[in-house]
Amino acid sequence: QMKKDIEGFQKLFRSLLQRRGPSVEWEKIQKAPEDSIQSYDKIQTQGLLGDVPPLLSKLVVVKLNGGLGTSMGCKGPKSLISVRNENTFLDLTVLQIEHLNRTYGTDVPLVLMNSFNTDEDTKKILQKYRQSRVKIYTFNQSRYPRIDKESLLPIAKGLSVSGDNAEAWYPPGHGDIYASFYNSGLLHTFLQEGKEYVFVSNIDNLGATVDLNILRHLLNPPNGRRCEFLMEVTDKTRADVKGGTLIQYDGKLRLLEIAQVPKAHVDEFKSVTKFKIFNTNNLWISLAAIERLQKENAINMEIILNPKTLDDGRNVIQLETAVGAAIKCFENALGINVPRSRFLPVKTTSDLMLVMSNLYSLNAGSLTMSEKREFRTVPLVKLGSSFTKVQDYLKRLESIPDILELDHLTVSGDVTFGKHVILKGTVIIIANHGDRIDIPPGAVLENKIVSGNLRILDH
């Protein structure tokens, strides 16, 4: 395995050294052709029920499970954080696929792409799903050496990932899935079992459920031409200005990420008018095509240079790739503009507040927006730094506020919420340094700004 990892790293490092100029020339960027990004409504069909089992028999679900919960103040894999009714991201994923398998009498497998950071803890927890109706497989993404920013030499002193050497290694982004999946032998196994497509998504995107309309569109294309790579995109809002977008470049569909955009054009890239859609990272890819391209060594993705500062102050670089960037290597690639509900990522405690609230109901592992919400848009929630860690966030909320009629919430400083608080419209709560605001139980705040000092103490 280590030999394959080093070979993969050398390939990436070599292309870094050979890189000349920017990876995209702005002048050559063209708008993606109309028929290359189709509306989800167009592929939605009635009367799916009869032929669902044959469709599902061709599917493998892969969840990207390499990330830790450190950004939310948690130890261990992010997928083991509780997000709803004591269910973790992983629990919800297993529930969704188990529901599919029970409903249609199928055997859709779940595959987790772990990293060396998450593998051990994930495998321990998998014991609890032994009785569930889902076959769960795991494989590990590669382990690459971090390189010194100045010398470009690896900082590792040896091959171990423990002790002083722990910081010398990193998992190289989710673009590594193609090589790792292929090298694990699982790809070959699934092809032999007659599987045809893999649905890949981030495990922290709670909207990324198996969609039967998309699966049918792939397996029974209206024009008879099979699509090797389908990317789910959705309409950009002001909150998504940094998300990658689909463009036409050298006659192929291509993913354009903000890191590739020349400084002079960043504002243009962020504009909602020119680039109207962004990549959700929900991807449907032909297994046979992955195998073919891997054998031909023909999957080339743009390198992402990710600078990091280690605990000891050393500046290092991580060479990474993104799974969606390979779209240009596949034949007959397609974008589908899906409803926003298929993009529900939980990256922060602000996102966590949304998915834990009465804005959503939970059914068989899937979250759906409440019918009681008049506007189908998601409120904008910005919780300040006192709420960053899940532990602190839970301490500060006696119960999750009712946000059915909320448009925008900003909270800053030392703020706590009592039970059964209702928030409507735009609510801004700011406790300045040294002040504290306790929102009393049962409070209803509608289009209010709360500032100053409000203490509620037990008598």
- CA dist 94 → 82, 189, 333, 415, 454 (Å): 14, 21, 29, 36, 44
pLDDT digits (tens, 9 = 90+) for 262-286: 888 888 888 877 888 999 999 999 9
Mean pLDDT of 121-135: 95
Degrees, nearest 5: CA angle 328-330-333? 80
Helix (H, G, I), strand (E, B) or coil at 397: strand
Residues tagged active-site: 347
Q: How many alpha carbons fall within 13 Å on the CB side of residue 291?
A: 16
| DSSP result, 67-101 | -BSGGGT--SBGGGSEEETTEEHHHHHHHHHHHHH
Query: What is the chain's mean pLDDT, rounded?
Result: 91
pTM of the model: 0.94
Instruction: Give pLDDT tens digits for 73-89.
Output: 999 999 999 999 999 99
Count of CB atoms situated within 10 Å of the CB of 133: 16
- Judging by DSSP bridges, how do beta strands 415-417 and 437-439 pair with one another? parallel
Contacts of 142 (CB under 8 A, 6+ apart): 4, 5, 8, 9, 171, 172, 176, 179, 180
Q: Is 430 helix (H, G, I), strand (E, B) or coil?
A: strand
Distance CA 232, CA 334 (A): 9
| pLDDT for residue 174 is more than 70 | yes
User: Is residue 209 pLDDT above 60, yes or no?
Assistant: yes
Cα 415 from Cα 452, distance rounded (Å): 11
Contact 316, 149 (CB under 8 A): yes
Q: Which residues pair with 316 in a beta bridge?
A: 148, 308
How many helices, marked H, and strands, marked E, lie in the chain? Answer: 12, 26
**pLDDT confidence band for 251 (50 / 70 / 90):** confident
279 backbone φψ class: left, alpha, beta (φ>0; ψ -120 to 50): beta
| Residue 83: CA count within 13 A, CB half-sphere | 33
CA distance 443 to 428: 14
Kindly report which listed range (309-313, 381-385, 406-410) carries the lowest average pLDDT score. Answer: 309-313
Identity at 69, one-letter amino acid code? G
pLDDT band at residue 198 using 50, 70 and 90 as cut-offs: very high
